[in-house]
Amino acid sequence: MKALIKRISSDPLGLLGLCLVTLMVVSALGASIFAPYDPIQLNIMDRLQGPSANHLLGTDQLGRDLFSRVLFGGQVALKVAFLTIGSALIIGVVLGMIAGYGPTWLDNSIMLLFDTIRSVPTIMLALAAVAMVGPSITTVIFVIAVSSIPNYGRVVRTQTLTIKSKDFVKAEMLMGASLLRILSIHVLPNILGPLLILASMDIPTVIALEAGLSFLGMGVKPPTPSWGSILNDGFALIRNTPWPIIAGSIPLVLATLGFTFLGESLRDLLDPKLRKLL
């Protein structure tokens, strides 16, 4: 891990991405320490204030400190991103390896399932889920995770099909190695690199989806702070003050840039084909 961080730091964009991601993670995990106010505390007397020494990003229409809400909103964004990517990754790896190493009929069935999921827009799936169980952070995680499973499943299936045709895998099979050993020892380690790259590139997409669903009222319930709900409040108040829009937009932009730069750097380091060209 230290060697990987050192190699990432040698790339200017990779270093910038690593710094932005570290800043986001530290500020979110330490929100209760760094936030000067309770993010849901109302103070009508201080409503719609601009940035000042007391309120670094100003206040919203209920007098809540926007800087504190942005910090705690980072916790929501990271929770959704890591739980969504983690669950989608695990399910996608299992289904992808089964499809790649299983019989043709099972492969076709899993691919049909992936195509069916991909054919349903994420917003439509979110609307259906919200209609059935109501808006919540659990609903957001479920919707985005289900929509993300085919991405990982297809990558794993393709890699599995490639690896299982290799001579060393065929030799293992002739020697009587079990399917579990082949998948865990030979297939899984060889697909971790591409999956890590894909996951790091998907995190900003997931964060933006969570913010978009919360902006539309299909995500995190008020008064829980979320970058999307901050943007929603700011959109309604855009003629009165621009600061809620700015406060909600800045962390989204920084998170997108940070994880994108970090993902690009990881791709350059972990992709064997690209590494040969460097």
CA distances from 70 to 28, 33, 87, 217, 260 (A): 9, 13, 26, 18, 21
Domain 2-277 CATH assignment equals 1.10.3720.10:
yes
pTM metric for this prediction: 0.82
Which two three-digit tokens encode residue 40?
């849901």
Predicted pLDDT of residue 271 = 62
Predicted pLDDT of residue 277 = 38
Per-position pLDDT tens, the chain of length 278: 666 677 777 778 888 888 898 998 999 899 889 988 888 888 888 888 888 888 888 888 888 889 999 999 999 898 888 899 999 999 998 898 888 887 888 888 999 998 888 888 877 888 788 778 877 888 888 888 888 899 898 888 888 888 777 777 777 777 776 777 777 777 777 787 778 888 888 888 888 888 888 888 777 887 888 888 888 888 888 888 888 888 889 999 999 898 888 888 877 776 655 444 34
Query: Half-sphere exposure of 234 toward its Cβ, with a 13 Å CA cutoff?
Result: 25
Q: Is the omega angle on the peptide bond into residue 223 within 30 degrees of 0, that is, cis?
A: yes
Predicted pLDDT of residue 275 = 46
Predicted pLDDT of residue 71 = 92
- What string of DSSP letters covers 25-74? HHHHHTHHHH-SS-TT---GGGTT--S-SS-TT-B-TT--BHHHHHHHHH
Residue of 178, 177, 276, 214 whose CA lies nearest to 80: 214
Q: How far apart are CA 273 and CA 155, in angstroms?
A: 16
136 burial (CB, 10 Å; 0-12 / 13-18 / 19+) is middle
Please measure the distance between the N-terminal and C-terminal CA atoms of the chain and give it in whole angstroms.
Answer: 21
Residue that the structure tokens 């855009």 belong to: 238
How many H-runs (helices) and E-runs (strands) does the chain carry?
A: 13, 0
Predicted pLDDT of residue 270 = 66
